[in-house]
Amino acid sequence: QVQLQQWGAGLLKPSETLSLTCVVYGGSFSGYYWSWIRQPPGKGLEWIGEINRSGSANYNPSLKSRVTISVDTSKNYFFLSLSSVTAADTAVYYCAYGSPLNYWGQGNLVIVSS
Amino acid sequence: ESVLTQSPGILSLSPGERATLYCRASQSVSSSHLAWYQQKPGQAPRFLIYGASSRATGIPDRFSGSGSGTDFTLTISRLEPEDFAVYYCQQYGSSPPTFGGGTKVEIK
């Protein structure tokens, strides 16, 4: 049974860097992508980007200049970094595994406020 | 980027009724790489359908998907109380993957 657990800071000030971590338990990971998705309060889902075990990453063009996704395959961890955050980055951030997104983490609410 | 438009925005139905949700893409979806997810308040989305019509593991057979090209449908044959939620379609055939705006299925 694949399970994802995620964590990270929940309150940031404008211009700071958002950092989240996700760990994947169980399952076989070869050939799959590990993704980050976000959801502003009361709104829909936005794909942020993805990475595979070899470290090849793809990003949403709308966020590409500020996003870095990385992976530590030895521990089945992957990471999201989003720089220069503003209030518009306030959202629940989810990690997810597979293509399509078969398994999801529990979500982290990240609030950007001065 | 492929834009997905879901309709209706809100669907008001009673338990036992049939629900039909639509998802239209601005570009043809490659190899029917179209998925559906269900989301309840305060929860992460739940994976329902992939390849436009294949149910994910453990998904009841009252959920069915159909369509190809630019027009897709999710049908719930008989609504159970636990099916009232928001449903999202997603295309994963072209980059970036994109989601529709969602359809809320609410109790009438």
- Per-residue pLDDT tens over the stretch A50-59: 998 888 999 9
**DSSP conformational letter for A107:** -
Q: Check pLDDT > 80 for residue B7.
A: yes
For chain B, the distance separating the N- and C-terminal CA atoms, rounded to the nearest angstrom, is 35
Q: Check pLDDT > 80 for residue A29.
A: no
Pairing of strands A33-39, A91-97: antiparallel
Partner residue facing A58 (CB), from B95, B99, B102: B95
| pLDDT value for B17 | 97
3-state secondary structure of A89: helix
Cα A48 from Cα A78, distance rounded (Å):
14
In the stretch 93-112 of chain A, residues with CB closer than 8 A to chain B read 94, 98-107
Copy the structure tokens of residue A95: 């990690």
| pLDDT value for A99 | 83
| pLDDT value for B18 | 98
User: A49 with B95: CB under 8 angstroms?
Assistant: no
> For the segment A95-107, what is each residue's pLDDT rounded down to a tens digit?
999 889 999 999 9
Number of other residues whose CB lies within 10 A of the CB of residue B8: 12
Partner residue facing B44 (CB), from A47, A60, A107: A107
CB burial readout A57-94, b (16+ within 10 A) else e: bbbbeebeebbbbebeeeebebbbebeebeeebbbbbb
More confident residue, A42 or A74: A42
| pLDDT value for A30 | 64
Confidence tier at B37 by pLDDT (50, 70, 90): very high
> For the segment B55-108, what is each residue's pLDDT rounded down to a tens digit?
999 999 999 999 999 999 999 999 999 999 999 999 999 989 999 999 999 999
Quick one: how far is CA A113 from the chain centroid? Answer: 20
Confidence tier at A85 by pLDDT (50, 70, 90): very high
